[in-house]
Amino acid sequence: MTTGTIDDASCAMAASKTCSPTSAISSQANGRSMRRAASTASATANIRFRLTNTRARDLAGSAELPGMSCSGMTMNATENTNASSERAKAMTWAKRISLYYPPAWRAGLKERDMARLKAAPPRGLIKTPAAFTFEQSHHRYEVDAPLDASIEHWWSVSWKVPPGRSHAQSSLPHPSIHVVWEGDDVRVVGVVTGRFTRVLEGESRAFAAKFRPGAFRDVLGAPLSTLTDRIIPFGEVVGARRAKAYRDRLARAPDDHHRVRIATDFFGELVPPPGADAGLLRELVDAATVDRSVTSVEALRERAGMHLRELQRWFKDAVGISPKWMIQRYRLHDALLALERGEGTMAALATQLGYADQAHFARDFRSLVGVPPSKYVVR
């Protein structure tokens, strides 16, 4: 199975998310007594569950546990059929619960080492409803300072598709490099200039570092344009032995909390401090990301205080793409969000995004998304 970046929006899988009713389990015991109760259980139930913040604290007694957003994980929970009626009553079905607490707190990690969910919503996701339901999850995690100057976030995805079925998920990738672990491979995924599509089949899991635009340049030691629209083994960048050691540690990790710690330690030693131009580059990328008025290269050139050719050469070397491509990509991200929210008319949206006319906008949108704007909003 080819490893690629499913994140970037930040994960195309999340579009077809289908979650079953969940069970919230509370206990008055602490973690130690829970394990003792589990060891004496006489039956095992496969329970799909999430826990609210309050219920999670109940599980750990007075412990404060950081949360993880769940998109449909399935866990094995042990149920004692001879438990007291009080415990039986505590098991309830929840219609809508948003926090899931994995057992990492019982596996040697302290609270300060727990992964922190990223609050910002994803961008660039192409919503493609699935024709069937399947188990999947997607999480994005914050990066600790000072590494957060180079890595935007960690992401983790998993899926379990029924035998003989498959589902294609797509996104419009950001101008970022991803280092992705999946199965036996760790690969470096360059900037994808077109639409990225991943066909989900079987059962798998991936964990990755999403680098900020330009931040992987000093790690690679070569222009990032050499990675554009390419996927290479991580061993070609850091050496086969080092890449294998990283892969093996991630494969043995019991959960995302530990994977985030492993990745933080690994890339903390690997990634050099940001260069002198990193601040300006981040400022330009942020402007193109959030400011809809930035619709031309000239607007970026004025902010950068550079000649046009100088700006273009810099972006090709440090980011791997042109500034024009970056602006267009982020404006199409805005278009996806606007269409999903039903904001304004097509003509007004085309004007806001810097297009000369609605027809030009429709052509660009269809060439990348796969459907015209008018069909995307009703799918």
Q: Do residues 321 and 228 make contact, with C-beta atoms less than 8 angstroms apart?
A: yes
Q: Are strands 203-211 and 125-126 parallel, antiparallel or unpaired?
A: unpaired
Vertex 279, ends 277 and 281: CA angle to 5°?
70
Written as one string, the DSSP assignment of 34-100 is HHHHHHT-SEEEEE-----HHHHHHHTTT-----EE-SS--EEEEE-TT--HHHHHH-EEES---EE
Confidence (pLDDT) at 10:
41
State pLDDT tens for residues 314-364: 999 999 999 999 999 999 999 999 999 888 889 999 998 889 899 999 999
Between 314 and 70, whose confidence is greater?
314
pLDDT digits (tens, 9 = 90+) for 91-119: 332 232 233 334 444 355 666 678 999 98
Band of residue 293 on the pLDDT scale cut at 50, 70, 90: confident
Domain at 278-376, CATH from 3.30.1360.170, 3.40.50.300, 3.30.565.10, 1.10.10.60: 1.10.10.60
CA dihedral 28, 29, 31, 34 (to 10 degrees): -110
Can you tell me the distance from the alpha carbon of 203 to that of 132, in angstroms, rounded to the nearest whole number?
A: 15
pLDDT score at 112 = 65
Taking the CB of residue 301, how many other CB atoms lie within 10 A of it? Answer: 18
Contact 150, 274 (CB under 8 A): yes
pLDDT at 292: 83
Q: Are strands 178-182 and 185-189 parallel, antiparallel or unpaired?
A: antiparallel
Rounded to the nearest integer, the mean pLDDT of the chain is: 77
Alpha helices in 104-223 (DSSP H): 217-220
Best CA proximity match to 133, nearest among 21, 25, 7: 21
3-state SS, residue 262: helix
Kindly report each contact of residues 299-303 with a partner whose C-beta sits within 8 Å and lies 24 or more positions away, as own/partner.
Answer: 300/327
Q: Could you give the CA distance from residue 96 to residue 20 in angstroms, rounded to a whole number?
A: 10
The one-letter amino acid code at 144 reads: D
Parse the chain into domains and list their residue ranges: 12-16+119-270, 22-113, 278-376
pLDDT band at 120 (very low <50, low <70, confident <90, very high): confident
253, pLDDT greater than 90: yes
Separation between Cα atoms, residue 263 and residue 143, nearest integer Å: 10
Instruction: Read off the tokens for 76.
Output: 């094995």
Give the range among 88-92, 289-293, 298-302, 373-377 with minimum mean pLDDT. 88-92
pLDDT the model gives residue 208: 98
Q: To the nearest whole percent, how much of the chain has pLDDT over 70?
A: 70
- Secondary element (H or E) of residue 22: strand 22-24
Amino acid 2: pLDDT: 45
Residue with tokens 């964990």: 207
Phi, psi of 290 (to 5 degrees): -105, -15
- Does residue 84 register a pLDDT over 90? no
278 secondary structure, DSSP code? H
Cα 127 from Cα 17, distance rounded (Å): 10
Condensed to tens digits (0 to 9), the pLDDT of residues 224-242 reads 999 999 999 999 999 999 9
CA atoms within 13 A on the CB side of 254: 9
What confidence category does residue 130 fall into, taking pLDDT thresholds of 50, 70 and 90? confident
pLDDT of 243:
98
> Is residue 256's pLDDT more than 50?
yes
Which stretches of 95-234 are assigned E, i.e. beta strand?
A: 99-100, 125-126, 135-141, 151-160, 167-171, 178-182, 185-189, 196-200, 203-211, 231-233
Give the count of beta carbons closer than 10 Å to the beta carbon of residue 374.
12
CB-based burial of residue 252 (10 Å sphere; 0-12 exposed, 13-18 middle, 19+ buried)?
exposed
pLDDT of residue 108: 56
* pTM for this prediction: 0.73
